Amino acid sequence: MKFNYVVYKLTFPNGKIYIGKDIGGSGHSMRYFGSWNNRIVESDFSKEQLADFTLRKEIIFESASKAEVSAKESELIRLYRSNEPEIGYNQSHRRRIKKD
């Protein structure tokens, strides 16, 4: 089954998540796993854990519209709170801290 454009959720072995979108080419690619920051993810795991590593990838939204998928990705990052370091690995949509 071929999906159009999608928003997906990755779940890492430690329970943290990453929300991403796939709007490249002719639609969703099973080989695409996003642009999360390797350094940040690797720092959460030992060398042994990284040697046997399983990700779960779920399609959580699908559309024929790239614009709709982009908007939904932003919405779902906030909804799932995957931009909070204790919950997930998204680096975008972070809350800004006001400086006095």
Q: Where do the domains of the chain lie?
A: 5-80
Here the tokens at position 57 are 């990838």
The letter for the amino acid at 60 is I
Q: Give the three-class secondary structure for 49.
A: helix
DSSP type of residue 27 = S
pLDDT on residue 16 = 98
For residue 94, name the pLDDT band (cuts at 50, 70, 90). Answer: low
DSSP lists the bridge partners of residue 5 as 63
The Cα diameter of the chain in Å comes to 53
pLDDT on residue 24 = 78
Residue 100 pLDDT exceeds 70: no
- What are 18-71's pLDDT values in tens digits? 999 998 776 677 788 888 899 999 999 999 999 999 999 999 999 989 999 999
The secondary structure element, H or E, covering residue 55 is: none
For residue 76, name the pLDDT band (cuts at 50, 70, 90). Answer: very high
The letter for the amino acid at 37 is N
